[in-house]
Structure 1
Amino acid sequence: MRTPVTGSTGDDIASSRVTGQDGDVDFAFVSGNPALDLAGTVGSRRDAPVDTLTEPADLERWVAECEELPDRVTADAETFASALELREAIYRLALDRVHGRAFNRSSLRTVNDTATWPVLAIKLSDAGLRMSGDLRATLSHIARSAITLLADPGACLKECGRADCTRIYLDRSRGARRTWCGMEECGNRVKAAAYRARRRAGR
């Protein structure tokens, strides 16, 4: 049973093109944290949610494309369902943080429980840090990343300023002046729409 996608009551982009169940989709890694990037695999949550993780193979590709996770994992139906449950829990908690309200208790349990699963193995080489492990360990790593982020009082979490985007991101810009989750995906769209509106008004 798939975990239902929750709706929202809420600058450079790096994306990789992958082939999902319904054709080509983009996985964007712009949120500054793998947990937030996982939550961002559902777009436009307020009006017409678009889920880019429609089957286990999509999740395998997403993990492979995320630079902070292992190069390869295998997802079965059970772990895929767990990943979607974790994704929705992270999104709810991040949105709670953005709006300054108490964390959802059910979502807290999901994230905290997942964080107790086996952890990824790490190895240092001349090429840098390499992680390895199965999908359960990967989900544990994502849950731990979410906990570290959400427990940090100094972390500035924001919801994208584009009306149709509900992605939550970590703003590390000077003065916390970042407005959009990604310039290519959302910033340029907003600027182009504003330009067209000015053109129409000037006619």
Structure 2
Amino acid sequence: MEKKTYSNEEIEKNWVVRFDELKHNAIPLMFIDSIIPGHQRLNYAIIGDTASENDTYSPAITEPHNFQLGMVKAPPGNGPAYHTHEYIESFFVLTGKWRFYWGHENDPEKVEGETIIGQWDLISLPPGLFRGFENASDEDAWLFSILEPHKVFSGRDPIWSPQIVKHAAEHGFHSDENGKMIKPENFSELEKQMAEKLRVGVK
């Protein structure tokens, strides 16, 4: 491998992510479920697309990596709706407590197991297993996510429970066969409203 040299300025500009800057660049409507009450949260793309259905945003570090990193901040009782991926998805709790629940069927009424994990705990979820999770704390909480590399917008991802797809559609949110969000005409307005509700600046 050819050795490449980097200046201090290049490292700072392209390879360092500072939380004080990142926290102002949240994605309030990253997925079609993000509009549904009980699933509203802020997503942060650090490395890779982190399964986003919204193609508007770039990760904090754009250099290609063989993994993908993101973060989630959610109010109490909120978190991603029932879904699955065709790759491993792992979560490390930064603050608060989180309830994870899962099952082999795509029906969120047929959950087969659940657990609550706290700060510094990690859960790794296998491909094909449906899962949902929510902030089980009484204040906003943070998760750190690690995903296996995967192709972007080459198929539906996440793969949602049909109930979630129907519920999102009631709010005007859909995704196409490539997994890209079909945004309602008032998307920008809804995004600003969600950002304000969750108290964050939006690009």
- Provide TM-score, normalisation by structure 1: 0.28
Larger helix percent: 1
TM-score of the two chains, using structure 2 as the length reference: 0.28
